Amino acid sequence: MLALEGIKILDLTHLAPGALCTMIFGDLGADVIKIEAPPGVGGRGAGIGLSPMGEEGRRQAAFDALNRNKRSIGLNLRSDKGREIFYQLAQTADVIVEGFRPGVVKRLGVDCETIRAINLRLIYCSLSGYGQDGPYSNRSGHDVNYISIAGALNLIGTPDCPPVIPLNLLADFAGASLHGVIGILAALVARSKTGTGQYVDISYTDGAMSVLTWFISNYFSSGILLKRGETWLHGAYPYYGVYEAKDGKYVSIGCVEPWFWENLCRALGKEEYISYCISPEHFLHKPEGEKWEEIFSYLKQVFLTRTRDEWFDFFADKDVPVGKVYTFDEVFNDPQVLHRQMVLEIDHPTLGKVKHPGIAIKLSETPGKVRSLAPIFGEHTEEILRELSYNKSQIEELRQSNIIG
């Protein structure tokens, strides 16, 4: 048994944050149906995020972890018959997830109000940049814009340099994908008590601000503005940072607690540095005084005397928080990563073993599972329509009319 077995999700998203959100549900057992517009159907974004096609598409799909455990139906929602099929699917669905700009689903006739008139138990989740209301709701944007508004981008990087863009991790994946999962799961729990679904409005920007809660709380408390690169979490203090090793690779040190810093100092034979540990002002201000410069200089020099892996082994029995700064080709050979099954090898009929990132949520009784690789476009169209009692001639007629793909 899988935790979310029996939950049906209609996936109208077409970008990676939405795909990650629904991937998590698929990994945990939900039946996720990707609703994809046939080629040539749709507006400016038509084709973006579309499942691949043909034999080469199958190879691409084999490695597409974001769309594993999903089925694909090609469906033209701009047609009356296409919407009719969608409404039939919605009658027995538990969740719809969409990632369009506000107003698009209304124009397509598949908005929350319309769908919940068909199925009051349905949970409808929208992922959008700024949310469904407010002065920015219809503005375009991407992760870099959302984390700018949320206040995160200005805090990332070093002093006297422009902000550093942290991939699209904060707003896209933490802000939208993970908050979307949490919101939908909360709505499913609520439905078990009330018997009805609800609307889940997830904003990428709101989610990025939620991730910043600890920092925002400190600002409200002190009134002091954090400055880029000038606090302990920015690497401004020697006990929390990254150091180059003898082999040109890097070691991360996270000795925030005084006892960890003491362990590091003792391991290096520098007991005189023990008293220079974290203190409250480090949360807000950069280090002042020559001693901090001395400690930094010493650590930079000493870490150059061994390789990255030698340092990792050296600190293994000394209770010092240390990490090897990996490239991707190293991550997937790490013994801890492998032990935690964060690299999966899945059988493919023609490619042999294909690798996927593992399932992060570990459930003891109902663990997640990769049951199927990502589909090619429309791979399950006929199968899904047959579940809705369409016969072969009806399906062929729909295909010829470009209603399905």
Which residues are designated catalytic? 142, 172
Contact 204, 176 (CB under 8 A): yes
> Which candidate, 225, 253, 250, places its Cα nearest to that of 239?
253
CA geometry: angle at 49 spanning 43 and 51, to 5°?
110
Our separate counts of H helices and E strands in the chain read 16, 11
User: Residue 400: in which H helix or E strand, if any?
Assistant: helix 392-400
Residue with token string 């469906």: 75
Dist. CA 22–CA 105, nearest whole Å: 18
**Helices (DSSP H) in 92-178: which residue ranges?**
104-108, 112-118, 143-150
Contact 200, 182 (CB under 8 A): no
Q: At what angle do helices 204-211 and 213-222 cross, to 10 degrees?
A: 70
Dist. CA 377–CA 51, nearest whole Å: 5
Per-residue b or e along 345-367, where b marks 16 or more CB atoms closer than 10 Å to that residue's CB: ebeeeeeeebebebbeeeeeeeb
Cβ atoms within 10 A of the Cβ of 309, count? Answer: 14
Per-residue b or e along 133-149, where b marks 16 or more CB atoms closer than 10 Å to that residue's CB: eeebeeeebebbbbbbb
Residue 240 vs residues 232, 233, 246: alpha-carbon distances, Å: 7, 7, 19
Dist. CA 230–CA 330, nearest whole Å: 31
Per-residue b or e along 226-263, where b marks 16 or more CB atoms closer than 10 Å to that residue's CB: bebbbbbebbbbbbbbebebeeebbbbbebbeeebbbb
Residue with token string 């889940």: 200
How would you list the strands of the sheet with 240-244, edge to edge? Answer: 240-244, 250-254, 322-324
- Strand residues in 48-168 grouped as ranges (E): 70-74, 95-98, 123-128
